[in-house]
Amino acid sequence: MKLLIVESPGKVKKIQGFLGSGWRVEASVGHVRDLPLYDMGVSPPNFRPSYAPTERGKSVLAKLASAVKSADSVFLAMDPDREGEAIAWHLEDALRLENPGRITFSEITEKAVKMALEHPRALDRNLVAAQEGRRVLDRLVGYMVSVPLSRAIGGKKSAGRVQSPALRLVVEREREIRAFKMTTHYGVELVFDALDNITPGWKANWLAKAWLGPGQEYLLEKEKAVRVAAMRRVKVLACQDTETKAVPPAPFTTSTLQQAASNSLKLSPKKTMEAAQRLYEAGHITYMRTDSPNISEEAVAEIREYCRNSNWPVVATPRRWKSKAGAQEAHEAIRPTHIEVEEAGDTDSEKALYTMIRLRTLASQLEDAVFAVRTALLQGEDIEGRMPEFEAKGRTLVRPGWKMVMAADQTEDGEEEADNPVPQLNAGSLLTVGGGKVVTHKTKAPPRYTEATLVKALEGRGIGRPSTYAAILENILGRGYVRLEKRALAATADGEAVVDALMGRFAFLEFSFTKELEDDLDAIAEGRTGYIDVMRKMHHCLEQELGLFQAATVTPCPDCGKPLRRIVRAPGKNGQGGYDFWGCSGYPDCPATFADNGGKPGHRLEKREKPPLSTHKCPECGKPLAHRTKDGPGAYNFWGCSGFPNCKVTFQDDNGKPEGAE
């Protein structure tokens, strides 16, 4: 019996059906081991991680170990990326496999799976090291920086190697919006009646730039616009016909799929990837984590043949797209596995996503869309020695090309240019203006990021990789550093506080530094640099920065010398129970507390007498409960275990008794 281990249980039944008897297909259900939960799990000088089975991984490994015992040979078919390579290595190591066959396929079809099994390879240790490097770098930043950060600004706060730069983008955009000052400026639009009862009404816009004063960006004087709008006769200076072409968008990468799904289907990156995962596991699309915009030559040939049979205009030479700088993965763009299948997926989201992927794939091999463009330059009558000029531009689709199958590129969140049927005009002829109107414009603040535009910004700066975008967004939203307001990302006070505390003190907040680290991970994957060298560089940088950060933010306790930490709790819904003060990190051995004074420790707070112990027992540890009360600002009234901080059980007060306690 041969054993094939895949990642997802969703693939098992389908692949088992391809292979039949003599094979057993099992799933690892993703990662089976990880760094420990309550310990950093990695330390200098070699930075070798200490792994432990995950809670789910324990039972999975036990089941797989039993399957391995009865197998003649074992094949590892994890996903074709760094994460998949790392999962395969963890299985090899944990199950003590000897020379397992590593196979990959970018589509779950019988042909692809069987072809992969004919060409197994050894595990790629460089890819494993690159994934391990990402995990360790994230752990170093999270463990080394989060505690000092929390101590400095209060509450439980976290820093992240890619999470924090992403948060910085949102915070800086929020502040740009806050600082924005609106400018009202003016333009003029002339409207012309139908010409010879053939051409419907058309428009021309005033070219106001020549009327601006030194340093002016906009026309601010409305009276000038009013005089120009009163123009009723204009002369044609020129009329030119040209042609423009629009190429189809490239097939989807992970990033562009998330952007298009957000704009067109209103799906979050997380929901998009979940739906794409299900489509992939069901065999409908190729692997959905990729930064390549190109598809295989075999698939291109099939797509072009399908388009010809549909009588669509196929481009003469198969299209290829240039990958973005830093593109790393070898798999092709996201496409249907069977282009002739028009509908796939179980849910509405899956069906809509599949349709979007399919149409974009088809469009990629069709001819350009061709537009006829007519541009007319008009001149008005003299106004105080100056002749205002106007431009009328119209565009008409003459050959739809790829637009036969899709209207626009869904990754662009904008409107199509409106038609303006400018007639054929002769230079020197005079035209009568049907009407003129002053158009009032107001400058707009830069828009808040949406999930789609933040993914685009991260990709453009080289922050993160295809597999990480959804997790980055989930982190900053889940930690309350950013909130969603009508699909836009708004920074919270906590998010701003985190960025302010880190900015200028830690290099991982700098976009260029973060990109360089991503490049270092790519270099590890390609065998151009070593894992330990990259880890040591980051660790050394963090140690130096942490020393300076703590020197600037740590106040020693005057009683014992240990660092003071800010302790913040927001008021409850009833407005009670909130507090903000500084306490010694040596508590309970050192109970010193100090008032908060603008983010710094202030005067010493009076030591309160410990509340008397009651006869009510803590249901968790059996120690007596104590009734804790305080009047005035930050008032509270509750019952807590006398074993605090080791036991944190609390109860609401119910007329002088702990509610629900014995």
Return the active site residues: 287
- Which is it for the CA torsion 108, 110, 112, 118, positive or negative? positive
Three-state DSSP state, 376: strand
Phi, psi of 614 (to 5 degrees): -100, 180
Three-state DSSP state, 185: strand
- The alpha carbon of residue 24 and the mean position of all alpha carbons in its chain are separated, in whole angstroms, by 37
User: For residue 123, what are the CA distances in angstroms to 31, 103, 104, 259?
Assistant: 16, 9, 11, 33
Question: If residue 276 lies in a helix (H) or strand (E), which one and from where to where?
Answer: helix 269-281
Q: What's the chain's length in residues?
A: 662
Which two structure tokens, joined as six digits, stand for 574? 């009833």
Q: Is beta strand 564-569 parallel, antiparallel or unpaired with respect to 369-379? A: unpaired
What residue type is assigned to position 501 of the chain?
A
Contacts of residues 25-29 at CB distance under 8 Å and 24 or more positions apart, as own/partner, are: 26/63, 26/64, 26/67, 27/60, 28/60, 28/64, 28/78, 28/87, 28/91, 29/56, 29/60
Tell which residue, 406, 474, 449, 456, has the closest CA to residue 253. Answer: 456
Three-state DSSP state, 129: helix
User: For residue 13, what are the CA distances in angstroms to 16, 154, 568?
Assistant: 5, 50, 51
In angstroms, the CA 167 to CA 635 distance is 34
